[in-house]
């Protein structure tokens, strides 16, 4: 067991416990703060997975901006723990059943490996052409010469330039929509 595995285990337990507390606390402020804790744990895991840029963005955008927005709205509306917070037992049964099935399904995904995917794709008929992006460069991991931000920036501003520009339009629409919806009278 390497040090990385141990650290991953610590962050994983932290994330799951925080998520559990997030969905079980009756007070929405406590829920929000436990969700922030989950996001910090996930940021740590992103660093372990060699995605340092995503980890920084995770802390800045999710734990910072988005959760502050949530806390603002909770405090603005002055919502406290509601007496009708929990659904009755059919809801719990449904939630437990659906989640158990989904969990089993997703854990079964652990059988995935790049080699197995390649083997299964190679047995497909040629008419189903394998898209090139399935294996762009499944090469050695090692440190990228472009640096942590460079390895994100290069594809983002070349191959994904159009989606990136469309994102800005999406954000503009969200800004205008949020103002229009939240304002009493324009």
Residues 108-167 that bind another protein (CB under 8 A): 109-110, 112-114, 133-139, 141, 151-152, 155-156, 160, 163, 167
Please tell me the number of Cα atoms within 13 Å of 105 on its side-chain side: 6
In 3D, which of 62, 65, 67 has the Cα closest to residue 30? 67
Other beta carbons within 10 angstroms of residue 84's beta carbon come to 5
Cα torsion 124, 128, 129, 135: sign: negative
- Cβ–Cβ under 8 Å, residues 18 and 42: no
Contacting another protein (CB under 8 A), which of 122, 127, 165, 184?
A: 184
Number of neighbours of residue 55 by Cβ within 10 angstroms: 20
Q: Which of 37, 40, 44, 45 contacts another protein by CB under 8 A?
A: 45
Report, in Å, the least distance between residue 129 CB and another protein. Answer: 18
Q: Which of residues 77-96 bind another protein (CB under 8 A)?
A: 77, 79, 82, 84-87, 91-92, 94-96
**The binder of another protein chosen from 10, 99, 116, 161 (CB under 8 A):** 99
The minimum distance between CB 119 and another protein, in angstroms, equals 15
Among 6, 10, 69, 161, binds another protein (CB under 8 A): 69
């Amino acid at each position: 067991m390497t040090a990385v595995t141990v650290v991953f285990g610590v962050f994983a337990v932290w994330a799951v416990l925080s998520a559990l507390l997030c969905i079980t606390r009756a007070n929405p402020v406590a829920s929000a703060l436990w969700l922030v804790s989950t996001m910090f744990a996930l940021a740590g895991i992103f660093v372990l997975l060699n995605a340092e840029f995503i980890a920084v963005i995770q802390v800045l955008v999710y734990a910072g901006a988005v959760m502050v927005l949530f806390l603002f709205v909770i405090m603005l509306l002055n919502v406290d723990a509601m007496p009708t917070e929990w659904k009755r037992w059919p809801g719990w049964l449904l939630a437990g059943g659906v989640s158990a099935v989904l969990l089993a399904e997703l854990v079964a995904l652990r059988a995935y490996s790049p080699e197995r995917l390649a083997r299964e794709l190679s047995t497909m008929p040629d008419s189903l052409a394998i898209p090139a992006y399935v294996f762009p460069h499944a090469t050695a991991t090692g440190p990228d010469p472009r640096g942590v931000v460079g390895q994100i920036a290069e594809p983002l501003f070349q191959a994904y330039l159009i989606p990136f520009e469309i994102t800005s339009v999406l954000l503009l629409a969200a800004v205008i929509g949020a103002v229009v919806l939240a304002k009493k009278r324009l």
